[in-house]
Structure 1
Amino acid sequence: MDEIPRQALKGRGAISNLTSRYERETRVLADDGWGENEALTETVPTQVFDDTARSVLSKNTSPDVIFERSVNPYRGCEHACIYCFARPTHAYLGLSPGLDFETKIFRKARAAELLAAELRAKSYRCQPLALGANTDPYQPIEREQRITRAVLEVCRDFNQPVMIITKSALVLRDLDILAPMAAKGLVNVALSVTTLDRDLARRMEPRASTPARRLAAMRELTAAGVPVAVLASPMIPGLSDHELEAILTAAAEAGATQANYILLRLPLEIADLFEEWLREHAPNRADRVLSLIRQCREGNLYQSQFGSRMKGSGPVAELLSKRFKLACRRLGLNARDAALNCADFKPPPARGDQLTMF
């Protein structure tokens, strides 16, 4: 049978359902003689499944990030960002990091309940939690599922500080929780802005909020007293890195006081998925982009070493780092301490607890 070439699907980032690294066989779309060589062009619907995890607190041991504990209400992400470093985790479930990752979403329906139990444990020591460090807590299905909101309600009740990472304006829905928490120094929100080009964003992160809506969300959060950071991530050499200063400037004007960036990461299956996407959506730039990425990764498309995996190495990466630092200095970003308040953490009384006299 002849293999049928995959085509980009409306509202999806990945072009193919690339076989994961754990599979023995490789799956391809083939013509069995009945399809008249028609390519797959229909919309792939999103399916939601239950995740039966017994814990929602994930521990991070990487020295490259500022948090040790995180909560992820969902596995998989409907935003469908082609570059998402979480894609390979779907292979653990026997699914593809390609289309499966963005169409087969696993919800942690008991996330709030499990989090409350873990925060009450005598062994727990308060530290900021990252909400959405792996997949976006405000992806489209959160509008109905409301799991992220329930998690935030627990954090509010416990005075548990939380760092939210998202690229969705849906975060504004929860301002009634976030604003009072911010007044106590318990929350900040980091909005990821990869590009200001709406057309590029639509192709690269098709179901995320538009760049303009993310900047508008920064303004509303700032007006409500919620500290805001901008993540110019990922920076893609030869495709979006020229926008670094413009992104930081727009975010600072919208109220952001903190900033960071990450150089494009292409671990495991993401390298093939990204190259496939690049040759479909930016064929004239593909070879140049891949060459620049290799120049930042010592000849490879990715390096996993701590200390360099986020920023890369070599002249191209060093120039990007210098540009970032100069822009932040000019715009006054990262000039203030953004530490969250852990001193007021206290589990609220639970049903059946003995009342205290003081």
Structure 2
Amino acid sequence: MLSKHDLLLATIARKPTPHIPIALWRHWPAEDQVAEDLARATLDFQQRYDFDFIKLTPSQVFVAEDAGLTGVYEGNPEGDLVKNAAPITSLEQWEALRPQTIQQGALARQLRCLQLVIAGANETPVIQTIFNPLTVAACLAGERAILWRRRYPEIFQRGFAMLIETWRNFVEAVISAGAAGIFFSTADATYRRMSEEEYMRWGRPSDLEVLSAARAGWFNVLHIHGEDLMFKLVADYPVQVLNWDDRRAGPSLREGQALVSKAVAGGIGQWGALLQGSIEEVRAQVADGIAQTGGVGYIAAPGCVMPIPTPERNIRAAISAARGNASG
């Protein structure tokens, strides 16, 4: 029987495997303010379902928490926080940005959480969620970040370079802590947020700088968030797996897999079949994902974070559907 490590390596290489790897993930809005609480919630979730890897999902404000960003959980089923006002309100504050320390504050807390999860994971690979620098900029300055990027690009670049350095340092620390890789999320590679020209100037270069710090990881996942995706502009990112909401946003798994030499993760509609559907609908989506990919180079997964109220029966149906099918 293949270990989870070897199962994922074979999947990345698009080799036949005894069964399809599977993982689901969610937010923990009540636990994610304390390293030990988030680690315990994450490990309990893993112990209950035995996924093939663990995606560690931090607080949605941790990227700008040390600058003053706060948020309140008001019951959103996805676990989203209602964020309070962005802490940076002037170009002077933006230009004064310096690399954030990872030895204290929110980033140190998250590294502590990661270490606890790795120690308790029983050799299950662990990946840490990382948000791309443009997302961090939006958390720090809100819509002003877009305005400054367009009107004052040289000033914006000076502060932006500090963000990139911070997240390169953090990613290096994540890999050094023993993570298998990172789950790198970009919400900007979409025509709904910017043009291709803007993304090629601001999104792609900064993404690649941060991703370069994860090069020692063997299981890096790119999550392309949103709809109307610039899929081809990120398809060659230096990661081993691509994940996107194929059920809602497209392209399909078959179309996406044809564009890359990497593994693909998805196929399970988190707001449709997984949350609201029957056991049979969940199993059918996993089976369809296997059919689209030939069961090779495929990880059964949601297109984004799983809603908190997802029924346990549907989670278990997805697991049994993945592990009951062999690709060779």
Q: TM-score, normalised by structure 1?
A: 0.41
Higher relative contact order (CA 8 A, sep 6+): 2
Q: TM-score, normalised by structure 2?
A: 0.44
Determine which structure has more spread, i.e. the larger CA radius of gyration.
1
Q: Which has the higher helix share?
A: 2
